[in-house]
Structure 1
Amino acid sequence: MAANVRYDDVEAGTSIGAQRYPISRLSLVKYCGASGDFNVIHWNERIAKQAGLPDVIAHGMLTMAEAIRLVTEWAGDPAAVVEYGVRFAKPVVVPDDDRGVEVEVAGTVTEKLDDKRVAIELTAHVGDVEVLSAASAVVQLS
């Protein structure tokens, strides 16, 4: 875990970096077990295609969780996130191979707020496809 970021060390426009988070079919199976969400579109290609999807897709909440990892790793404390929200733009299609996909997440401080909090805007893509939109978080800094 990184050292806590200090409020005085950031400004609006500060990049919090970028990271790639892999999601494979194995990740989906593990998430099914951990979350209790066994919806067949997350593990059965035939059913996913019958539902009009191109293939098996990642759970939206798994995608959302991978995106906020960038913020918690930057802040050094998962409890520092006091608000978080996204809109799901496109599903994360996970091919049946050994690689899966990578969700590319980047973040920028957009505003310094009161009480040593900052607003952060996130982007999340798989290749050129935006998978999360309006992704933002508020983080309490030291």
Structure 2
Amino acid sequence: MSWAVGDELPPLQVQVTRERLVRYAGAALDFNPIHWNERFAKQVGLPDVIAHGMLTMALGGRLVTDWLGDPSRLLEYGCRFTRPVVVPDDDKGALVEFTGKVGEVRDDGTVRVDITARFDGKTVLGKATAVVR
């Protein structure tokens, strides 16, 4: 496979629902009430229940591994959490949109992919990059 700077990955859109949060909490053993208890989330200053940051990050990783077709080709992945994904208590949830672009092709055969994650028109992951082979 050959890549060039500027190549775009197929976009990924994910509806994050409260049900998805419960499933993720069980898998990750992260039962922090800000991810399931609206009253508690508001008491600590949040607008509502928010998605787990690591769930949002994992979905960004999925953008890359879906594109690669082989998750073992993902060598590094990191980001900063810049904004929460607020998940309403309805069947629709919160739409999170992921895009990616090749930012650098390196001499060693690896490629840096720059990932953008947006919720409600705003970026929720900062400096999200993956290195792939």
TM-score, normalization: structure 1?
0.91
- What is the total number of aligned residue pairs between the two structures? 133
Is 1:113 matched with 2:106?
yes
Is 1:48 matched with 2:72?
no
* One-letter amino acid of the structure 2 residue matched with residue 74 of structure 1: W
CA apart distance, 1:107: 0.3
Residue 3 of structure 1 aligns with which residue? none
CA apart distance, 1:115: 2.9
Q: How does 1:87-106 map to 2 (within 5 A)?
A: 87-106=80-99
Percent of aligned positions with the same letter in both sequences? Answer: 53
CA apart distance, 1:21: 1.2
Unpaired stretches in structure 1, ≥5 consecutive residues: 1-5
Match of 2:15 among 15, 18, 22: 22
Unpaired stretches in structure 2, ≥5 consecutive residues: none
CA contact (8 A) 1:17 1:108 kept: no
Q: Distance in 2 between matches of 1:21 and 1:86?
A: 18
SS of 1:106 mapped into structure 2: strand
TM-score, normalization: structure 2?
0.97
Q: Distance in 2 between matches of 1:51 and 1:84?
A: 30
Residue 73 of structure 2 aligns with which residue? 80
CA apart distance, 1:114: 2.8
Q: Which string of whole-angstrom CA distances, capped at 9 and with x for unpartnered residues, describes residues 46-72 of structure 1?
A: 000001000000000000001111100
Aligned residues: CA RMSD: 0.8
Runs of 4+ off more than 3 Å? none
